[in-house]
Amino acid sequence: MAEEEPGLDPLPEDARLNSLDERLQRAKSEEAIRNGSGGKGQGDYNLGNRVLAELIGGMAGGALIGWLLDRFLGTSPWLLLVMLFMGIVSAFRNIIRISNKRSK
């Protein structure tokens, strides 16, 4: 209802606010450069988490599959050891692939 009342025009945009926004953005970018964290730190953190997940996932997945196969086939620890080794090899292969792709 208030929208239909005559005489209530929206306020014009203030040039001082635009200037303040520009100066604030410039100050934030200069501060990031000065601290040396120009957005790179988050990428390194994510890369480290991915490497850790590959390593833990490869070992845990191989051990779980080997343990399950040992339970069904009755081959005591042999398939567990073989699949754990295969999981570790796979994890290291993935980590090497990640590190080679990242070095541009």
Q: CB-based burial of residue 67 (10 Å sphere; 0-12 exposed, 13-18 middle, 19+ buried)?
A: middle
Mean pLDDT for 27-45 is: 74
Q: Give pLDDT tens digits for 43-55.
A: 678 888 999 999 9
Q: How does DSSP classify residue 39?
A: S
Tell me what pLDDT residue 6 has: 67
pTM over 0.85: no
Domain ranges, ordered by start, for the chain: 41-104
- Answer yes or no: is pLDDT of 71 > 60: yes
What average pLDDT does the segment 92-99 reach?
A: 91
Tell me how far apart the terminal alpha carbons of the chain are, to the nearest angstrom: 59
